[in-house]
Amino acid sequence: MSAHEPGEAYDGPADLVTDDESHPVEVQLRGFFQPLDGHFHWYGRIAETPALATVRSGATVTLQTPYGEATGRVSDVDPWRRFRISGTGRPPF
């Protein structure tokens, strides 16, 4: 693992883990600290891939990057067929 400077963004490869399956995906993630609730909120999009055909909106998943992992929830699919994902707490980047 290479050195990684913590930041508020990550674009690159990840693994999306659902139940017993792991799907390699490409993600664009961003995040920010919300002083009103005292938590770090992260969010982003998962690029379209046929492997995600079994993932349903509203599912809770684990997202793993080379820098960490976190639990998030997938939601709406945009016009480019990318899932939105979001989470609270330590991000996967």
Give the mean model confidence (pLDDT) for residues 9-22: 93
Buried b (16+ CB within 10 A) or exposed e, 40-69: bebbbbbeebeebeebeeebebebbbebeb
Locus of tokens 């684990």: 62
Q: Quick check: 2 pLDDT over 80? A: no
pLDDT band at residue 7 using 50, 70 and 90 as cut-offs: low
Domain spans of the chain? 9-88
Q: Quick check: 1 pLDDT over 80? A: no
Q: Quick check: 35 pLDDT over 70? A: yes
- Which comes out higher in pLDDT, residue 55 or 36? 36
| Alpha carbons 79 and 64: distance in angstroms, whole number | 25
